[in-house]
C-alpha cells in the first residue's frame, strides 16, 4: 500500500511539474530577453533563433515578440534582399492577430498581408484582389492606405482586361474607391484649413500645429496622386466612346432601375459626354423619382442647351431636395459657375464657399474664387497700386487650392505665381511708400491685405 501511495504521489508530482514546465514563464521571459536585446540593436541574426523558440513555446507571452519579429523580417527582406523570409513576415502578422487580437486591428493586419502578397507576386490576381476586397468590405475604416487603394482598383481593371470582371463591375468599384479617397481628403482638408486660416491671419503656429500641418499637407498630396493614378488606370475604359454604347445597350432592360439610371447619368455627366442618351436618362429619372438627382441632371441639360436661367432653376430645386450634405458640392458648384459666368461674383463666391463647407478638399472652389478676384482688379481699389494689390489676395487663394487638392496643384501654383507677378513689386512698394500698410477693399472682394515690408 505504501509503495502504491509513493508511486501515485510521484505521478502526480511529475504531472504537475510537466504542466509548470509547459507554461514555463521564467523560460519565456529568458527567451524574450535573449530575443529582444539583440533585436533592439538590429542584430537580427542573433535574435532569430530565439524568435523561433518563442513562437513555438511561448506564442502568446508578449506582444513584443511580433513587434520586433515584423521589423526583423522586414530587415531581412528589404535590407538583405532575402526573399525567403516573406512567408515568415506574413506569419508574424498572422500570429500577432491570433495571439493578441485585442491589441491588434484585424483590418490593418489583413490589409498589410494583402499588400505584401501583391508586392511579392504571391497568388493569382484574383486571389490578390479578393484579399483586398475582404478588407475593404469588412474593415473600410482601416482601409486608408493610398497605395493599397490603388492596388485594389488596379487589380480589378487587370481582371476586367483578362475577361474575369465586367465593365460595370469596374465602374461600380471606381465609384466606391473614389468616394473613399474623397472621404480621406475631406477629413485631412478640414483639419488643414483652420491652420492655413490661422497663418493667413498672421498668427504663428505652434510647433505641434506645424508638425500636424506638414502631415496633412503630405497626406493630401499622397491621396491626390492616388486619385490621379486611379483615374489613369480607368483610362479609356470610361471614355464616352465606351460609356455611351454600354448604357444605350442596357437602357431598355434597365430603364426602370433608378440606381442604374443615376449611375449612368452621373458618369456621362462627369465625362461631359454629348449624347441624346443623357437627356433621355435625365427625363426618365424625373418621371420615376423626381428628386435632387433628377433636378440636377435636368439642370445640366438646360445648361448644355444654353438655357442659363432654367438651369439655375433646376439647380436650386436640386439643392433644396438634397438631404445628403456630402452630395451637395456638385450642385453648389454648378450654381456657383452659373453666377460666375454671368459676372455675379459675390453670389458665386457664396456658393463656392457652400461647396467647401461640404467638401473641404474641393480646391477648384478656391481656384475659381482666385480667378474672380484676379478678374476684378480693375474694379477694386481707388489707385493703380490698390487695383494691383488685389492680386495678392488672388495669389493666396490659388495657393490654398494647391494645398488642399493635389490633383490641381500644378495649375493652382502656376496661377498663384502669375497673380504675384501682377501684384505690386518691391520697386512699386518703395516708390509709393506703401511698405507695411494695410489696404482695405470695398468692392465685392472685401477684406484687406497687408503690403509686405521691404
Phi, psi torsion values for 308, nearest 5 degrees: -60, -45
Asked if 181 and 143 touch (Cβ cutoff 8 Å), the reply is: no
Q: What is the pLDDT of residue 22?
A: 43
Phi, psi of 203, deg, nearest 5: -95, 130
> Residue 317 — pLDDT band, cuts 50, 70, 90?
very high
pLDDT at 272: 80
Please tell me the least confidently modeled range out of 35-44, 209-218, 260-269, 311-320.
260-269
pLDDT of residue 361: 93
pTM summary value: 0.75
What is residue 450's three-state secondary structure?
strand
Q: Is 80 exposed, middle or buried (0-12, 13-18, 19+ CB in 10 A)?
A: exposed
Q: Report residue 91 as a C-alpha cell.
A: 506569419
Would you state the pLDDT for residue 181?
92
User: How much is the pLDDT for 7?
Assistant: 38
With vertex at residue 193, the alpha carbon angle to CA 337 and CA 215, rounded to the nearest 5 degrees, is 125
Q: Give residue-wise pLDDT tens across range 174-232.
A: 989 998 999 999 999 999 999 998 888 888 999 999 999 999 999 999 999 999 999 89
User: Three-state DSSP class for 448?
Assistant: strand
Return the pLDDT at 8: 40
pLDDT (0 to 100) of residue 252? 92
Residue 25 has pLDDT above 80, yes or no: no
Cell of 177: 474607391
1 pLDDT band, cuts 50/70/90, is: very low
Contact (Cβ atoms closer than 8 angstroms) between residue 434 and residue 424: yes
Helix (H) or strand (E) holding 10: helix 2-23
Does the pLDDT at position 268 exceed 90? Answer: no
Cell 509709393 identifies what position? 432
> Mean pLDDT across the stretch 245-271?
88
Tell which residue, 450, 313, 442, has the closest CA to residue 392. Answer: 450
- 185 neighbors 361 (Cβ within 8 angstroms): yes
The predicted structure's pLDDT at residue 417: 96
- Write the CB contacts of 447 (distance below 8 Å, at least 6 apart in sequence): 393, 440, 441
The pLDDT value given to residue 175: 87
- Binned at pLDDT 50, 70 and 90, residue 369 comes out as very high
pLDDT(14) > 80: no
Amino acid at each position: 500500500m505504501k509503495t502504491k501511495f509513493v508511486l501515485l504521489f510521484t505521478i502526480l508530482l511529475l504531472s504537475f511539474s510537466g504542466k509548470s514546465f509547459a507554461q514555463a514563464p521564467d523560460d519565456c521571459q529568458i527567451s524574450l530577453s535573449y530575443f529582444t536585446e539583440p533585436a533592439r540593436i538590429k542584430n537580427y541574426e542573433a535574435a532569430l533563433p530565439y524568435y523561433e523558440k518563442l513562437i513555438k513555446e511561448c506564442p502568446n507571452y508578449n506582444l513584443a515578440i511580433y513587434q520586433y519579429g515584423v521589423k526583423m523580417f522586414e530587415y531581412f527582406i528589404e535590407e538583405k534582399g532575402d526573399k525567403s523570409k516573406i512567408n515568415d513576415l506574413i506569419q508574424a502578422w498572422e500570429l500577432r492577430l491570433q495571439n493578441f487580437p485585442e491589441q491588434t486591428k484585424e483590418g490593418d493586419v489583413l490589409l498589410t498581408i494583402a499588400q505584401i502578397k501583391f508586392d511579392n507576386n504571391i497568388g493569382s490576381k484574383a486571389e490578390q484582389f479578393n484579399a483586398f476586397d475582404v478588407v475593404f468590405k469588412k474593415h473600410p475604416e482601416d482601409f486608408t492606405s493610398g497605395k493599397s487603394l490603388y492596388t485594389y482598383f488596379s487589380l480589378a481593371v487587370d481582371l476586367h482586361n483578362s475577361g474575369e470582371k465586367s465593365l460595370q463591375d469596374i465602374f461600380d468599384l471606381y465609384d466606391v474607391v473614389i468616394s473613399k479617397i474623397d472621404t480621406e481628403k475631406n477629413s485631412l482638408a478640414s483639419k488643414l484649413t483652420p491652420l492655413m486660416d490661422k497663418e493667413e491671419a498672421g498668427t504663428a503656429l505652434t510647433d505641434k500645429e506645424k508638425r500636424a500641418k506638414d502631415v496633412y499637407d503630405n497626406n493630401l498630396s499622397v491621396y491626390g496622386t492616388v486619385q490621379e493614378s486611379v483615374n489613369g488606370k480607368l483610362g479609356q475604359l470610361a471614355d464616352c466612346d465606351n460609356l455611351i454604347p454600354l448604357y444605350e445597350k442596357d437602357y431598355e432592360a434597365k430603364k426602370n432601375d433608378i440606381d442604374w439610371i443615376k449611375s449612368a447619368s452621373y458618369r456621362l455627366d462627369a465625362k461631359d459626354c454629348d449624347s441624346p442618351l443623357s437627356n433621355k436618362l435625365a427625363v426618365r429619372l424625373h418621371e420615376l423619382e423626381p428628386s435632387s438627382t433628377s433636378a440636377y441632371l435636368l439642370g445640366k441639360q438646360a445648361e448644355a442647351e444654353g438655357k442659363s436661367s432654367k438651369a439655375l432653376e433646376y439647380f436650386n430645386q436640386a439643392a433644396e431636395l438634397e438631404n445628403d450634405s456630402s452630395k451637395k458640392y456638385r450642385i453648389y458648384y454648378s450654381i456657383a459657375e452659373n453666377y460666375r459666368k454671368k459676372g455675379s461674383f459675390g453670389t458665386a463666391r457664396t456658393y463656392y464657399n457652400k461647396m467647401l463647407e461640404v467638401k473641404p478638399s474641393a480646391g477648384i472652389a478656391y481656384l475659381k474664387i482666385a480667378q474672380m478676384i484676379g478678374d476684378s482688379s480693375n474694379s477694386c481699389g481707388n489707385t493703380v497700386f490698390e487695383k494691383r494689390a488685389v492680386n495678392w489676395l488672388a495669389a493666396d487663394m490659388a495657393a490654398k487650392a494647391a494645398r488642399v487638392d493635389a490633383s490641381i496643384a500644378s495649375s493652382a501654383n502656376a496661377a498663384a505665381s502669375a497673380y504675384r507677378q501682377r501684384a505690386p513689386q518691391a520697386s512699386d512698394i518703395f516708390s509709393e511708400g506703401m511698405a507695411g500698410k494695410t489696404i482695405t477693399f470695398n468692392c465685392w472682394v472685401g477684406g484687406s491685405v497687408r503690403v509686405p515690408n521691404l
